[in-house]
Structure 1
């Protein structure tokens, strides 16, 4: 009967708009929740009978509703003052795990997906947010190299843990001889006095040492030689590390640049023109000495009358303590040490799935991979379809309060109208009942 179907349609309308009211209230309640993805309710008509046009009778089928998280629609980014506040500038999610999962350090921790997070170290050095979500990443070895790891599985990910009290050092591996030698010292009437410099270096356990580099000009009464003898010695032990003859150009356009580097001792390695360096060895520690390239204004040059070693530097550091952490756009988590160097400890991947709206929503703005979302893949930040990682940033809620309030008004009117339909049907049934009286 059409009157009864009208009643049922009205009840279905009340139920559908009640569901829509629930999503609106949830969205407004989470308007300040970082990383929140708004929910949306859509309506679908229900047809009773065949639905063929021109039927003699019509029965109202009503309406049904479905609600879904709009996971692919994120909020805008806002700046912060914490280097480990992380957001993503495009598609993708951060890999996190639960507080209980953080206790597992064997690759079995359950992986969740988070659009953003304000991560800080807890009392155990584990990086987590206030809700307990723990950030996951690939641990790198001591040289900052990431081991081969699967991208379609979370078995290579580990809860990020940083020991702020741990000491670290960097052994010297390269010394750059950025020196200007005086061309006047190789003239026939020059005194032939040598020039010496001391260079600090650090061994593999962070202990300091000193290298003496002695530059002795080669003179000849017949004319300028543009030639020097370079001798390296370990100061503490007096060990000879190598002696080399350095010849400089005096041709127009190339004047003052390296022409040849020749080893003249049993110690030390031969000069490699491809790398512009030769190596020395101190108690098993190999150090590359960068002298410069032939015909180039890098490393050692010879010009003018002044000896200037202002470009001498080495890449080692003594024992240092972590004073801060930073995350770059590629997802590399670096520890910054008080000696001025940094070391990459972890790489944070970006998780992507074919259908983000198919993810299962969990508490604390986290999501879980489901059959509808499709399998996940771990990308390096800024590669493939995913965005880069933004440090010092958080993602705001995707809720637009103004739009939600407008929808709330529409929902309220629709709910009242459906209630009016039920009231009208009740009055019509009452009139039908009165006919018998």
Structure 2
């Protein structure tokens, strides 16, 4: 055997030691010693598995943290020199890059708090972070940075703000409580400080009853007066007032109506005449027992019986000391049997007697519904909506930057947030009275921990082996 310029070639009688054919058949160029490279590769493997164990420990520690999103390991090979064409490869290493499972949902649990919300699907809740306090108002001031979270365990603090367990303030679109119009131009911190609901004066009374066709007085004659029907209404200050309606039958199909409110000036209105059956002013015949005409009288102003289906109502003004209070007494409609009628019977049958006023209301409860509407319920029965919570969507939520308190901030790679109403534009739905738990699976994490531990030990064994090889190399001179 002879050596020829770095090639180990067996010399035969047929071919010379440095012939072209011999080189082609035995390309065994010696590679440089890679013991040091193997050691460096093993060290990178240990570092990668150390990072994996760190990710696992973080996940396990936050297995019960509301809204926590786990971190997973993504291993990538580091290549220094590798070529199939040149038939060469040098040991490189491995890199463990974290993968943030921000878009993986966690389990949703029901809670008793009516201001807690969870998102079923994609998206994040917009929140803000307090940076200080305004000395003039004592209210918090907030950072300019926009934050987003899945931690929806919000509760109302002493200043009326909704704040979650991580200290972030809920943001939403303002809603006009009167018109219900939502202002989607900007978001602001949700603050509900309206603890009183102003009273609403009554301006409409709806009355539906059947006046008995067979009623007579004790002697069997007419007129015959029925017991008064009474309803409670509210004045401009929210005080309860009484309004009494008294019907008197004066003919086969004719009645008079008198209205009395003892606290008003004047207190009595009417009588005005109400007739059933016959024809309307336009000559249309209406079914027997339905309203056909109403006359104005005694401060009661009647609507005209212009056509079948036209509204049949008396209007009058009450005054309880705060100025005239216009009232519309709606008896139904002409020619229809859905309101006040005159059918067979011996006594008045009251089907409906309602009014639209409300007294002053005190704060009762605060809630967020499935559409994200923040509403206050008052003890007078009124429900008013003050905000709507949008859901923020990102093109790549895994590229969001994490900050303390399970919150996120947008990055160039995640894209800018798109705020949308729940259930639209690819965002998820709100689940009211619920919170989202951590998306960590303990069993899965412990399985990963076993693999990471064994891989770490294996890389450590590589270092031990390379150390022995280096020792053998050093011993060559002995």
For residues 394 and 338 of structure 1, do their structure 2 counterparts lie closer, same or farther at Cα, with a shift above 3 Å needed? same
Distance 1:319 1:162 in 2: 16
Match of 1:201 in 2: 233
Contact 1:278 1:289 in 2 (8 A): yes
Match status 1:18 vs 2:50: yes
Which is worse superposed, 209-218 or 30-39? Answer: 209-218
TM-score, normalising length: structure 1? 0.83
Q: Which residue of the partner structure matches residue 159 of structure 1?
A: 190
Counterpart position of 1:353: 394
Q: Indicate which of 199, 208, 212 corresponds to 1:169.
A: 199
> Which sits farther off after the overlay, 58-67 or 394-403?
58-67
Q: Distance in 1 between matches of 2:418 and 2:360?
A: 39
Contact map agreement 1:139 1:158 (CA 8 A) in 2: no
The one of 317, 323, 341 aligned to 2:382: 341
Change (3 A) 1:3 1:278: farther
Provide the rounded CA distance (Å) in 2 between the counterparts of 1:106 and 1:280.
Answer: 52
- Give the secondary structure class of the aligned counterpart of 1:73: coil
Shift of 1:264: 2.9
Three-state SS of the structure 1 residue aligned to 2:371 is coil
Please point out which of 4, 20, 32 is paired with 2:64. 32
Provide the secondary structure at the position in 1 that maps to 2:72: strand
Structure 2 equivalent of residue 237 of structure 1: 265
Contact 1:144 1:343 (8 Å CA) reproduced: no
Return the index of the structure with the highest Cα Rg.
Answer: 2
Q: Distance in 2 between matches of 1:92 and 1:242?
A: 63
Answering whether residue 357 of structure 2 is matched by residue 316 of structure 1, we say yes
- Aligned-residue Cα RMSD (Å) equals 3.5
Counterparts of 1:108 and 1:269, CA distance in 2? 61
Once the two structures are TM-superposed, the CA of residue 193 in structure 1 deviates from its matched residue by 1.8
Relative to 1, partners in 2 of residues 1:398 and 1:297: Cα closer, same or farther, differing over 3 Å?
farther
User: Over residues 136-161 of structure 1, what are the superposed CA-to-partner deviations in whole Å (9 max), with x where a residue is unaligned?
Assistant: 223333415235331xxxx3423323
Q: Which residue among 178, 181, 202 is the counterpart of 2:211?
A: 181
Task: Give the drift of 1:412.
Answer: 0.8
Alpha-carbon displacement from aligned partner over 1:38-64 (angstroms, at most 9, x marks no partner): 111111122223x44243321122111
- Structure 1 counterpart of 2:93: 62
Aligned 8 A contact 2:291 2:336 in 1: no
Q: Would the alpha carbon gap of residues 139 and 342 (structure 1) be closer, same or farther in structure 2, given more than 3 Å must change? A: same
Instruction: Give the CA deviation at 1:199.
Output: 2.5
Whether 1:422 and 2:452 are equivalent positions in the alignment is: no
Deviation at 1:33, TM superposition (A): 0.3
- In the alignment, is the contact (CA less than 8 A) between 2:300 and 2:315 conserved in 1? no
Q: Tell me the equivalent position of 1:140.
A: 175
Higher strand proportion (structure 1 or 2): 2
Give the gaps of 5 or more residues in structure 1: none
When the two structures are aligned, how many residues end up with a matched partner? 424
Q: SS of 1:424's equivalent? A: helix
Q: Distance in 2 between matches of 1:134 and 1:20?
A: 33
TM-score, structure 2 as length reference: 0.77
Q: Secondary structure at the match of 2:228?
A: strand
Q: What is the deviation of 1:117? A: 2.4
Equivalent of residue 404 in structure 1, options 432, 442, 445: 445
- Once residues 89 and 263 of structure 1 are traced to their aligned partners in structure 2, the CA distance between those partners, rounded to angstroms, is 60
CA contact (8 A) 1:102 1:134 kept: no
Q: Given the alignment of the two structures, is residue 210 of structure 1 paired with residue 242 of structure 2, yes or no? A: yes
CA 1:381 to 1:288, structure 2 compared with 1: closer, same or farther past 3 Å? farther
Matching residue within 117, 123, 140 for 2:158 = 123
The residue matched to 2:192 in structure 1 has which SS?
A: coil
Asked if structure 1 preserves the Cα contact closer than 8 Å seen for 2:257 and 2:272, the reply is yes
Gaps of 5+ in 2: 1-31, 280-285
